[in-house]
Chain A
């Protein structure tokens, strides 16, 4: 089953082609990597999938449904969540509420019920808190529930953002440089967590990443971008030998 299908998607910023006719297919319950030098347009691909920018051309399909042009909140609602290259947690919500806010799409009470604290609100708030606490425990953050996110060490902020992206039980998870700024031990933990999550929740994952060890270890398929164009795709071991890729990363041979 195809989870996500991008059909020659393009995006220009004032005449500069950020993504040029990029195409990819994401199979179910697999991890795919998008790699490439800085400024290759990897994050832009994520922004196009999640509706942050409108597409200039092309189409995006999610589980057989055309999601091209949908607003971000609808796309999240359908089951695509993401993390950000520069962590974007909510600084005025505590750690627990950062998780709870992500669960808002699953909560069923209405604004009117909220105003008068109808029993259903109390019940669902209780359920949300329980779920959020279980995620905190899973990610080893249970001590920090009442703290504000930007008082946490960097590694824990990354973990919290990952937990937040998983909170609403997505079908497809987009990770934008999940290993940036992490030490080797934390990267090892990240790999374990991702593989475990993938199995437990039947999750599909696309990641943009620079850390080669991580990408080569857990990705089934890799797409390589350079100047917005796809220069290679294939399994990690083939990509390692690919001449165009080596050239993009290391430059021409002397």
Chain B
């Protein structure tokens, strides 16, 4: 039982990170390989504040979120003027830069040895409540002006700006929000697995967040969450396929991009209204 709870905790924590990536890559079409950088910033800020400066846990989490947002803002100023592939490259560089900085700022971060001795404060209910809350926020944004503007920017930036959307400042809002969510997830991560090190979350992990978003469906929060839960719990529950997990993911990506380019769930969302409509259709 304990094992399954552990698996669920890790899975759900990754789902928070997927939600952060969903907002940016799924809704707005900004491909960032720097999400890992924000996970680390969140994890290290909270841990160092808690262990070295005796900041209470909730305050440490808050500091991590503020730090993530602030870094997001600073990184966003130059990078959000770049377009697709250039943005991807620069965010990739940012993620690796954070990793290198953590390795070399050994006095504060412990370098390659990482930080050990973080207490386990985070449990499954706390993570689940976080997911519900973040999903609530993102879903609300998605179904009103903010979300429509995101999708408009993803589809056609020029037309979006001619609808009166300030593309740059809108992207900035998205980037800061996504950074805040991601560093929140990173902070929880530190207090869940009790040990962090600079290689905690490399660019490959950041790429997985994007891929999961795409498999689930760029227009569906439901799809992103389900794809995330399936992917991150799959390997643990089916240990025998362990190393084949990434092969299966690759195959899933292939099949989805060929046969369902909009993702498995397309633009379908789980809501009472849609469930009802679905039942009516079936009848």
B219 touches A73 (CB 8 A): no
Q: Chain A 166-196, CB within 8 Å of chain B: the 1/0 string?
A: 0010000000000000000000000000000
A227: chain B residues within 8 A (beta carbon): none
B148 touches A101 (CB 8 A): yes
Q: Which segment, of B62-70, B74-82, B96-104, B161-169, faces chain A?
A: B161-169
B152 touches A93 (CB 8 A): yes
Closest-CB distance, A149 to chain B (whole angstroms): 10
When C-beta atoms are compared, the residue in chain B nearest to A161 turns out to be: B159
Check if B50 is an interface residue, CB within 8 A of chain A. no
A92 touches B219 (CB 8 A): yes
Q: Which segment, of A16-24, A32-40, A110-118, A234-242, faces chain B?
A: A110-118
Q: Chain B 203-231, CB within 8 Å of chain A: the 1/0 string?
A: 00000000000000011000000000000
Count of interface residues, chain B, beta-carbon cutoff 8 Å? 27
Most buried by A among B137, B152, B160: B152
Check if B156 is an interface residue, CB within 8 A of chain A. yes
Q: How many angstroms from the CA of A59 to the CA of B18 in the assembled complex?
A: 48
> 8 Å CB contacts to A: which residues of B129-169?
137, 140-141, 144-146, 148-149, 151-152, 154-156, 158-167
Q: How many angstroms from the CA of A168 to the CA of B165 in the assembled complex?
A: 12
Q: How many angstroms from the CA of A166 to the CA of B133 in the assembled complex?
A: 37
Partner of A97 from the list B146, B148, B164, B218 (CB cut-off 8 Å) is B148
Check if B6 is an interface residue, CB within 8 A of chain A. no
Count of interface residues, chain A, beta-carbon cutoff 8 Å? 33
Main secondary structure of the interface of B (DSSP, over half): helix
A89: chain B residues within 8 A (beta carbon): 159
A111 touches B156 (CB 8 A): no
B218: chain A residues within 8 A (beta carbon): 92
> 8 Å CB contacts to B: which residues of A25-49?
none
Q: Which segment, of A77-85, A201-209, A217-225, A245-253, faces chain B?
A: A77-85
Whether A91 contacts B155 in the complex (CB less than 8 A), given A111-B146, A111-B173, A114-B141, comes out as yes
A84: chain B residues within 8 A (beta carbon): 159
Q: How many angstroms from the CA of A250 to the CA of B18 in the assembled complex?
A: 61
B162 touches A50 (CB 8 A): yes
Whether A105 contacts B173 in the complex (CB less than 8 A), given A91-B155, A92-B219, A121-B144, comes out as no
Check if A226 is an interface residue, CB within 8 A of chain B. no
B167 touches A73 (CB 8 A): yes
Q: How many angstroms from the CA of A52 to the CA of B141 in the assembled complex?
A: 28
B152: chain A residues within 8 A (beta carbon): 90, 93, 101
B149 touches A104 (CB 8 A): yes
B163: chain A residues within 8 A (beta carbon): 73, 76, 101-102, 104-105, 164, 168
Chain B residues close to A by CB (< 8 Å):
137, 140-141, 144-146, 148-149, 151-152, 154-156, 158-167, 173, 218-219, 267
